[in-house]
Amino acid sequence: MTEMYNHHVIEKKWQKVWDEKNPFKAEDDYSKPKFYALVEFPYPSGQGLHVGHPRPYTALDIVSRKRRMQGYNVLFPMGWDAFGLPTENYAIKNKIHPAVVTKNNVERFKNQLKSLGYSFDWEREVNTTDPDYYKWTQWIFLKLFKAGLAYKKEMPINWCTSCKVGLANEEVVNGVCERCGGEVVRKVKSEWMLKITEYADKLIDGLNDVDYIERVKTQQKNWIGRSEGAEVDFKLKQVDETLRVYTTRPDTLFGATYMVVSPEHPLLDKYKDLIENFDEVVSYREKAALKSDFERTELVKEKTGVCLKGISAINPVNDKEIPVWISDYVLMSYGTGAIMAVPAHDTRDFEFAQKFNLPIIQVVKSTEGEVDLTKEAFTDVATGTMVNSGFLDDLSVEDAKEKIKNFLEEKGIGHRKINYKLRDWVFSRQRYWGEPIPIIECEKCGFVPLKEEELPLLLPEVESYMPTDNGESPLAAITDWVNVKCPCCGGDAKRETDTMPQWAGSSWYFLRYTDPKNTEALASKEALNYWMPVDWYNGGMEHTTLHLLYSRFWHKFLYDENYVTTPEPYQRRTSHGMILGENGEKMSKSRGNVINPDDIVNDYGADTLRTYEMFIGAFDLAVSWSENGVKGCRRFLERVWKLQDLVVDGEEYSKENETKMHQTIKKVSSDFESLKFNTAIAAMMELINVFYKAEKLNKAEYKTLLILLNPVAPHITEEIWEKLGCEGYVYEQTWPEYDEEKTIESTVEIAVQINGKIKGTINIAKDAAKEDVLNIAKEAISSKLEGKNIIKEIYVPGRIVNIVAK
């Protein structure tokens, strides 16, 4: 009898071996085939590792370990996305420097990750808060600035009227401040913006050349929201002024019965003397300022608005006078901040028109029957034909769009316009714990970038990390840091005191891993040329639209500037689902359903935790935690361990197990590649069930099992390998091959149906002729065919026979 499986001893022992031998180090030998596996680096929060973290990490650890056994030079790095709000808030509350908080949190995270036995190359660890790192974050910003992609603009921020500080969206709960419950309003502030919209088309087109899961591509495209429409100028009746609108349905211009402008539209202040009810406008605007964009555009809510008295517009195609309204469902941030309303063919306009009794004119009819415009708008483009539209009548919607666009351009009252839902990236934060923006503002010279040799611009020490009560960052209070001489003219100037958002550091970290200690460049051309692109990047679905787009944008910019060598940063992108609490809800302290991975590692072992997280369910779906499931995986590993009692000599697979061995190798190999870890593990469970049934296995079979299981459970498999007296280590073995011929059983069992219902099964040779199979099948169910007429006989080779009979 072999001794008990003691995970405490075994896991420590092998982690020590890996630390000393460092076998998972990525080599700088650029002649080997490379594989770059990347997981999203964590934010080192004060709570320590969450059981959600090991899910993606284990997945790519499995792939990385397998690739090494397949002969690749693998880069599988880890680092820390350590700037951020929670650390700063913790620092404010406990009066500890955020750098100290970060250091402690990183240490804890690192120990936890090491206890899980990941094959990270720790020599390439990066930390976004390290000045040697953020020097290059600032450097990229300067490049963006010099390329004209960074600019300042007045933008609204969330402002707590009671704390008198700017708040992150997350800190605003139901319109009030999360800390004090005070009222939150939008306050306008001049902020740094990055022109991601300039890369909108490239970000869409680039998706054709990468291998992302389909829903990630779809979601990115929808987020960018490219739409082809037209801008149309409407003249105001009372003054010589045009009101420009953006529309995706210029074909419906004849149906425009009123206009709506955003409450923030500049035209309102310009003509406030003309607007007889301007006080109503002002009070409406104040109410709108309290709502977020997404509250404003909610369809279910009752539409509100104010009709401007004293101002009206002229529809340019039929010269009809139409009223102008303001309403909060029109956003200043999309299009021109003004729309032409066509209530007959737009849902929101329809609701608005019904509420305020505005005329609804049909200009599109359906080719598939009557349209009832008293109930809802008719928005179907595919079956639409134009009516009541002068020269557009009888055209299809598609043709009408083309004709009216040409018409607008000929008459000079409008033009084609492509619009994006994507907005430029608000890059300023009025916070301490972020990268300082390396810009000096001089009254004479404007915005002056710091010289590159002055980077990194270090975060200065401050008394308090709390934002100041005029909405500036804490840096603004350090006058001797803020007040500098202009590098251009030598006159008095001031530093930018806003810092960068957390997204900045994570937008290029994958480049730094290729050459993390380089002091001359963000990474050397040679390193980038060899390692990039990332071959496989896994991360959460929640990062699909922000982090993934931001980092692709920066990468594309760096490519255009010739600093990186590939147009796309990531060749393949996959996503994992969340791990929920036992009750099926998101894990959180307040719900009391948080599982600490340290406890699982201690009670069951890292190998069990890894196996369980891979076995728990479909990798891309959210799953609930189950302690009993953990036990089941521990039991599986114990059974693998106890196979030691059954092993007999044998250099080759035994005859009776040969097919099963080859099937398992095939299944596990392909399932690891397609993220089906749960079925890969199930296949290995089936295999050991076969061994137990036979009450024996030979050494060759055991060794193959250990290699297949090693990426999932690296500690226990090394230990058994050693106990078996095998040479070397599992991690340096070659990944097993399978023979397709040997995965196929000589006979197959197939089902026999009558009219699609199963009536029995038959065993046939795998290559039996159709005639023979049908005869055997009919023989097998002859009693049930009696008195029936056979109409049709279907045979799907290796699958099923279906007899259609009456």
User: Under rule CB under 7 A, which residues in 609-638 are in contact with RNA?
Assistant: 615-618, 621-624, 626, 628-629, 631-633, 635-636, 638
User: Residue 631 in contact with residue 703, Cβ under 8 Å?
Assistant: no
Measured over the CA atoms of residue 40, residue 678, residue 671 and residue 25, the dihedral's sign is: positive
Binders of RNA among 52-81, rule CB under 7 A?
A: 81
Contact call for residue 422 and RNA (CB under 7 A): yes
Residue of 17, 96, 99, 155 interacting with RNA (CB under 7 A):
155
Nearest distance in Å: CB 428, RNA = 5
Q: Is 418 exposed, middle or buried (0-12, 13-18, 19+ CB in 10 A)?
A: exposed
Q: Does 83 bind RNA (CB under 7 A)?
A: yes
φ/ψ of residue 724, rounded to 5: -75, -10
Question: Tokens in use for 72?
Answer: 């690749």
Q: Residue 328: which of 348, 305, 351, 309 has the closest Cα?
A: 305
Residue 86 interacts with RNA (CB under 7 A)? yes
Residues forming a β-bridge with 569: none
Binding string to RNA for residues 701 to 730, with x set by CB under 7 A, is what? ------------------------------
Cβ–Cβ < 8 Å for 344, 362: yes
Which of 375/562 has CB closer to RNA? 375
**Beta carbons within 10 angstroms of residue 645's beta carbon:** 10
For residue 726, what are its two tokens? 């095998």
CA distances from 502 to 43, 155, 350, 427, 542 (A): 10, 19, 41, 9, 15
Residue 263: DSSP 8-state: T
Assess 150 for contact with RNA (CB under 7 A).
no
Q: Distance between the two ends of the chain, CA-based, in angstroms?
A: 63
User: Which residue bears the tokens 């769009």?
Assistant: 401
Between 445 and 682, CB nearer to RNA: 682
Contact 789, 754 (CB under 8 A): no
**794 binds RNA, rule: CB under 7 A:** yes
Length of the chain: 806
Touching RNA, residues 634-663 (CB under 7 A): 635-636, 638-639
586 binds RNA, rule: CB under 7 A: yes
**278 vs 508, which CB is nearer to RNA?**
508
Helix (H) or strand (E) holding 191: strand 184-194
Q: In the complex, what is the shortest distance from the CB of residue 224 to RNA, in angstroms, rounded to a whole number?
A: 8
Q: Does 167 bind RNA (CB under 7 A)?
A: yes
Distance, CA of 685 to CA of 542 (rounded, Å):
33
Q: Can you tell me which of 58, 102, 138, 428 binds RNA, judged by CB under 7 A?
A: 428
574 forms beta bridges with 538
Q: How far is the CB of 791 from RNA (least distance, A)?
A: 8
Helix (H, G, I), strand (E, B) or coil at 173: strand
Nearest to 178 by CA among 186, 167, 164: 167
Stretch that binds RNA, among 131-139, 247-255, 366-374, 428-436 (CB under 7 A): 428-436
Closest approach of RNA to the CB of residue 726, in Å: 24
Q: Which of 35, 43, 465, 735 binds RNA (CB under 7 A)?
A: 43
Q: Does 223 bind RNA (CB under 7 A)?
A: yes
Q: DSSP state, 587?
A: -
Minimum gap (Å) between residue 128 Cβ and RNA: 9
Residues 319-358 that bind RNA (CB under 7 A): none
Q: Which of 198, 202, 219, 241 binds RNA (CB under 7 A)?
A: 219
**CA-based angle 428:434:435, to the nearest 5?**
85
The reply to whether 429 sits near RNA by the rule CB under 7 A is: yes
Q: Is 92 in the site for RNA (CB under 7 A)?
A: no
Cβ neighbours of residue 44 closer than 8 Å, sequence gap 6 or more: 80, 81, 82, 102, 105, 106, 108, 109
Q: Determine if 472 is a binding residue for RNA (CB under 7 A).
A: no
Ramachandran assignment for 129, one of left (phi > 0), alpha (psi -120 to 50 degrees), beta (any other): alpha
222 lines the binding site for RNA (CB under 7 A): yes
Site string for RNA, 528-547 (x = CB under 7 A): -------------xxx-xxx
Select 291 or 365, whichever has its Cβ closest to RNA: 291
In angstroms, give the least distance from the CB of 274 to RNA: 33
Nearer to RNA among residue 484 and residue 744 (C-beta): 744
Binding positions for RNA, 667-706, rule CB under 7 A: 676, 678-679, 681-682, 685-686, 689, 692-693
The correct pick among 61, 191, 346, 349 for binding RNA (CB under 7 A) is: 191
